[in-house]
Amino acid sequence: MNSGDPNIIDKVFSEILKKSMGRGNEAIKQMLETVNRIEDAMRHLRNYAKKRRDNALLEYMINFQAEKQMIEAQSKSVVKSTDFQINLSRDYTQARLFLEKGFQAPTMRDRQERFKAGGDCLVQSNKDGFYSQLVGELQEINQGQVDYFKKHPNMGKTMSMSLADFFTQRMTGDKMSDSQTKEVFQEIKTLRTTFNLPLPSYWAIVFRAYAQDAKRAPEGSEKEKKWQKVQALITEKNPSVPYLTMGELCLEAGNKQLAVVAIRKEKKYELKVPMLIDAEAWQEATEEIFSNRKHEDHESFVHMIREKGPAFVEDFIRTESARRK
């Protein structure tokens, strides 16, 4: 850590994680305890996880630090809050049970009753309007899904869809006239307002719907036209969806070429390079790595692409290294 050399730091973490990640939660917790005792090590580990897009490690770190903060806050408290914590934990557990049972309910009436019971439990326990509001929104989403299901009884998965999947299904699931399309989009906009869905999230759902629609289209001019609509969103001057999000959604829809176009438009070097590597866009990733040789992560990314890429990546590295001297 004291050397500050990102290559050395990354190699150290790689070795530590090899020994810890396969041995269960307790081993990971012990590893994080050790890292936490070393000055500045948690920051380096967080950067390591971000560069490799290791969401599992990031989640372990978030939970570890949240637990530490809670213990610290409790140790500083003058009032003993054991009884309150037990009651609060019990109330949340009961509310969660109502919600879990709600999703498993065989009928809509049972589902709505259990959602309501969960919301009431949260309100009565600690007046938590935020969570009870979420339960209310769940009820509204499910009512919309019920209405849609009644019109399409063969769609067995409708009732278990996420909000994003439900929006996508409404927008692209049926062939619609222009007037019907406008009605559906108005319905989706109303739902966005009802749920206070942030605009970036809303537009990301819309973008995903277009990408999935293009993916499902039969080969030919119709498919090409739908992908052109997606491309137009990527090349907008001020797009409503972040470039990396568009890249991820294009990868999900199986269009690597458009995904690479979107990712390369991202301005932050330290964000787009790992994503290009994850997408196995070896030439484009190498070009971006060598576009900023003075960046503090440059050497780490060279090491990363050598580690993850095929043997011919060395040819790209030599070419870019010579070209950008």
pLDDT digits (tens, 9 = 90+) for 112-169: 666 666 666 655 544 444 444 555 555 565 666 566 556 655 555 555 566 667 777 7
Residue with tokens 């065989």: 106
The single-letter code of the amino acid at 69 is Q
Tokens of 134: 């979420």
DSSP H helical ranges for the chain:
6-20, 25-36, 41-51, 55-76, 82-104, 108-126, 129-151, 163-172, 178-194, 199-216, 221-234, 243-252, 256-264, 269-278, 282-289, 298-308, 313-323
Query: What is the reported pLDDT for 9?
Result: 74
DSSP 8-state class, residue 52: T
The last residue of a domain, from among 44, 76, 108: 76
| 81 assigned to some structural domain | no
- The DSSP secondary structure of 90-124, one letter per residue, reads HHHHHHHHHHHHHHH-SSHHHHHHHHHHHHHHHHH
C-alpha dihedral over 186, 132, 56, 3, to 10 degrees? 100
Quote the pLDDT of residue 85.
37
pLDDT digits (tens, 9 = 90+) for 99-112: 566 656 666 566 66
Whether residue 21 sits in one domain with residue 64: yes
Domain count, the chain: 4
CA–CA separation, 115 and 120 (whole Å): 9
Predicted pLDDT of residue 312: 93
* Higher per-residue confidence, 104 vs 307: 307
The verdict on 274 and 178 lying in the same domain is no
Any idea which of 54-58, 135-139, 199-203 has the lowest mean pLDDT? 135-139
pLDDT over 90 at 254, yes or no? yes
Question: Residue 154: exposed, middle, or buried by beta-carbon count in 10 A (0-12, 13-18, 19+)?
Answer: exposed
Is 113 buried (19+), middle (13-18) or exposed (0-12) by CB count in 10 A? middle
Q: In terms of residue numbers, what domain contains 183?
A: 162-266
pLDDT of residue 128: 43
Scan for tokens 């991202």, then name that residue: 266
Looking at every residue in the chain, the average pLDDT score rounds to 74
Query: Do 237 and 325 fall into the same domain?
Result: no
Give the CA angle between residues 245, 246, 250 to the nearest 5°.
120
Which letter, b or e, does each residue of 236-245 get, where b requires 16 or more Cβ atoms within 10 Å of its Cβ?
A: eeebebbbbb
pLDDT at 250: 93
Range in 113-122, 130-139, 251-260, 307-316 with the lowest mean pLDDT: 130-139
Residues 68 and 91 in one domain: no
**Are 143 and 180 in the same domain?**
no
Query: Could you tell me if 275 and 294 lie in one domain?
Result: yes
| Direct distance between the N- and C-terminal alpha carbons of the chain, in angstroms, rounded to an integer | 30
pTM equals: 0.52
Work out the average pLDDT over 310-319: 93
82, part of any domain: no
